[in-house]
Amino acid sequence: MSDDMWLSDGGEEDRVGFATALQNLLWAEAKRREGIAADEHPHSVNALRPDSPAARRLHLRHLEVAAECGEIAEQVMEGAAARAGRAGASYPEMGAAASITRQAARNRWPQAVGTRWYLHTLTGRQQPHGAATVMTRSRDKAVTTGWDAVRKGDAAAGGAVAALVCDSERRVVWACLFDPAEYDAVTIEAPDDLIDVPAGDDEDHPAWTGRWAQFVDAEIERRTVRA
């Protein structure tokens, strides 16, 4: 593992230090398995003559240890992904942490993210709207709760006028709003710019909520005119 590979993305000293510490740990384990004390020669991977039988044997042992390290790293990553999922992390976040795509993270750790459904509701007929989010373990419960809230909420000034449900990857799977023409809640297709829902603590979430409110206002106005 050369320093150049670790320095290629900007030369972060912490990554170089981590690589060095890991290399030293693997070399120490290779020496231990060969019965060589930690303070005895050779002190580095390049301290032996490259053509000696001792070098061949020790470097093969080093390779053995490095291969095991890869297997252990996979186990560590799987455990870390599972714990991150229990803490509410999404596959896009896991992919970013592991420098892989969202889909690759999902395929790699299929059980990491538990089943979560997020219900978002928009309340109040006048601007600014109120917005709320709840998490459930059942899609049916999330949809039913949102549907009932919109169906019952229009009669009250602060009642729900729209609702949508997104999955654990925060993609919209269902949406509804109050249709004046039907005088009832109706399901709708969310526009493309609303499909991906930022987490509540994400800096982009307020902007997403604003776009959702604008869409709902325009859609209700359109349906009001039609009525």
Q: What residue ranges do the domains of the chain occupy?
A: 3-108, 117-226
Name the pLDDT band for 87 (thresholds 50, 70, 90).
confident
Say if CB 117 and CB 167 are below 8 A apart: yes
How far is residue 205's CA from residue 200's CA, in Å, rounded to a whole number? 6
Using DSSP bridges, classify how beta strands 184-187 and 172-179 pair: parallel, antiparallel or unpaired.
antiparallel
How far is residue 131's CA from residue 129's CA, in Å, rounded to a whole number? 6
Name the pLDDT band for 133 (thresholds 50, 70, 90).
very high
Residue 186 has pLDDT above 80, yes or no: yes
Percent of the chain with pLDDT over 70: 91
* Helix, strand, coil share (%) of the chain residues, nearest 5: 50, 15, 35
pTM over 0.75: no
Q: Find the distance separating the first CA and the last CA of the chain, reported in whole Å.
A: 69
Say if CB 163 and CB 147 are below 8 A apart: yes
Name the pLDDT band for 132 (thresholds 50, 70, 90).
very high
CA 133 vs CA 42, 120, 145, 175: distances in Å: 60, 5, 12, 14
Predicted local distance difference test score (pLDDT) of residue 77: 92
Torsion of CA 182, 188, 191, 192, to 10 degrees: 180
Predicted local distance difference test score (pLDDT) of residue 173: 94
Q: Provide Rg for the chain, Cα atoms.
A: 28
Q: What average pLDDT does this structure show over 75-89?
A: 86
* Paired residues of 184 in beta bridges: 179
Name the pLDDT band for 11 (thresholds 50, 70, 90).
low
Give long-range contacts, CB 8 A cutoff, 24+ apart: 50-53.
Answer: none
More confident residue, 37 or 147: 147
How far is residue 139's CA from residue 133's CA, in Å, rounded to a whole number? 14
Q: What is the mean pLDDT of the chain?
A: 85
